[in-house]
Structures are given as C-alpha cells and as structure tokens.
Amino acid sequence: MEKYLEREVKFEVQDFAEILQRLDQNPKARLVRDWVDEKNFIFDDQSNSLREKEILLRLRIDDKVRLTVKEKCPKQDQAGIKCKLEYEVNVSDFATTKKILETLGFKVSLEYYKVRKVYRIKNTLICLDKLPFGNFVEIEGDNLVELARYLGLTWEQKITKNYLDLCQEKLNQDK
C-alpha cells in the first residue's frame, strides 16, 4: 500500500522567485520537468457519487496522458498533511480514454489548466504550479515540514485541499 500513498501539502505564493533561487542553489535538488502545460479533466457520474465518497477520477494530459484515481486513506496523517491513496497509469490515447470513461457513464465535471515545473529532492517532489486563480507550491513525499521551511514557506499556511476544491471555491466566489 505504501507505493500508492500520496502525502502532500500546498502553499499559495505570490511568485516563485525565492523558491526557484533556493531550489537552484541546492545541490540535492534536481529539475524533473521544466514548465509544461497541463490539462486536467475530473470525471464523475450523473449523481456525483464519486465526489460524495471523496474519490477523484482524473484524466491528465501534459507530456504524457495519465488516468488517476484518488481515495481517502484508511488512516489519516496526524500532522495535518493531506493523505490519499493514489492509483495512476499512463495511457496511450487521451481521446479514446475519455470516450471509454464517458461510455461507462462518467462525465467531465470540471476542467482546469495549469503550468507546472517539477523538482525532486530525494523522495520528495516540489511542484511549482501556475493556475488561473493563483500560484502554488505543492510538496509531495517525505519530510514535508522541513522542506516547506527550507523553501521559506510558513507551515501554518499550508493548504490540504486539492485543486478541484480550490478551483470550485474560486468559481463560486466569482458568481
């Protein structure tokens, strides 16, 4: 089960300048992927039963196409860190995978776009995300508290919501 465990937090930031400087100066930080456009399609059935069960079904396209399911962990993290079970596979064809999901009765409930740059320090990913409603640093993996502090982020300002929830909050504010 450990291979499917996702532990992450997010922080909203004004810009990435200080964080990029710290990452570029850290000899252990490795650039995994430079800025890439990413499209995310969240699927649910007509009654939104996946959302009600806190299950996320996502089809993502960037430099790859991936199908992902996330669900609640049986045991939540005590440090206030978002914990999910994540199952993800690469798929070869976006349009066909989307059609398969729709044929099974799923519909796109939300689309969102971001531009992402990814670094790795040991077993932890640091994702710099530009979304239409803000800039975020997402830290996923081990040593989240220490790494957040190293990057100059205030742990008490962590966000444990996913981008789906943050996007929907923004859409509701704009109404």
pLDDT at residue 174 above 80? no
Name the nearest CA neighbour of 75 among 150, 153, 169, 2: 2
pLDDT class for 75, splitting at 50, 70, 90? Answer: low
Domains in the chain and their CATH numbers?
A: 2-173 (2.40.320.10)
- The per-residue pLDDT for range 106-157, each reduced to its tens digit, is 999 999 999 999 999 998 999 999 999 999 999 998 889 999 999 999 999 9
Instruction: Indicate the helix (H) or strand (E) that contains 19.
Output: helix 17-25
What is the spatial distance between Cα 78 and Cα 148, in angstroms, rounded to a whole number? 17
Beta bridge partners of 107: 44
What is the arithmetic mean of pLDDT over 79-84? 75
Q: Which amino acid is at 85?
A: L
